[in-house]
Amino acid sequence: MTIDPTRPGPAEEDRAGSALGRVLGRLRRAGPPERMRILTIGGRAIRVAVREGAPGRPPLLLCNGIGVSLELFQPFVDALDPQRPVIRFDMPGIGGSPAPVVPYHLVTLPSLLAGLLDQLGYEQADVLGISWGGGLAQQFALSRPDRVRHLVLVATAPGALMIPGRPWVLLRMLTPRRHRDPGYAARVAGELYGGSAREDPIVARDLLHATTRLGPARGYYYQLIATLGWTSLPRLPKLRPPTLILAGDDDPIIPVVNGRIMKWLIPRSRLHIYHGGHLELAADPERLAATVEAFLDADLTAQGSQP
């Protein structure tokens, strides 16, 4: 287990303004070219963004949180090694993906991710899931371990059998209002997301609005329904891929104790506790991207040194 000792420095004058500038600066940063397209997989149409990266390198498949589109990952993608291939996608009914006719469940989604890799020509991928997407990443690794090379779980938990946040925090998660009302998002950002959002709620607002694409409201509710009754807890000891767990020490949605439980149950797992909250992967991407890169590259080096 590692603990990130980083703490914020002295308060800057106009801190919110400088933080907003950092977010918008990342959005304007020119990174490696990406190709955006709509793919149909198993009858579901999903919007996909692919950064090719260096030939022969395994891609990093990113699974996003509830209600947010693939654009939320942009600051994190920009902070990664430009030679690393990256795949992002919108869940059905989120961002640029059309809403499905009927709801779905997490246990049915591994075939969607496997079909996505098939269409893009990849046998395996490193998989990173944040929050709701961490549940999807766990389910994919448990159902299709042959397709997951390494697993990174960020600000996530093992589903229904988890240590929950405070009830008033969870109640705010039951509706997509924060995704549809920028003023409301700024008001609740600190108490909902913790970390940097406590000091700079405008950053959280703009991450959810200026950097993401709004989908139909029912897409959010479909994601909520998808987790009903789902838990990975009894199956975590069966996870085969090497796993990195990133947990924030100030995350009101996913208390850090969940990361400790997952570390205890998942074989060959590492726990990195970072200073911050639920949105730090996008709000402070350079710091967490460095941790993810070190984990993936260390395993690549170790594999390359084997006889």
Active-site positions read 131
Cβ(194)–Cβ(216) under 8 Å?
no
What count of Cα atoms within 13 Å lies in the side-chain half-sphere of residue 178?
Answer: 26
Paired sense of beta strands 243-248 and 269-274, if any: parallel
Number of H helices, E strands in the chain: 13, 9
35 C-beta neighbours (distance < 10 Å), count: 9
Residues making up the chain, counted from first to last: 307
Separation of alpha carbons 24 and 70, rounded Å: 16
Quote the CA–CA distance of 243 and 127 in Å, as a whole number: 10
**Cα 264 from Cα 253, distance rounded (Å):** 20
**Distance, C-alpha 142 to centroid of its chain:** 18
Write out the E strands in 116-268: 125-130, 148-154, 243-248
Q: Which residues, other chains included, contact 304 with Cβ-Cβ below 8 Å and sequence gap of 6+?
A: none
User: Quick one: CA dihedral 66, 140, 49, 279, positive or negative?
Assistant: positive
How far is it between the farthest Cα atoms of the chain? 58
Q: Measured on CA atoms in the order 118, 122, 127, 128, is the torsion positive or negative? A: negative
- Cα separation, 219 vs 176, whole angstroms: 9
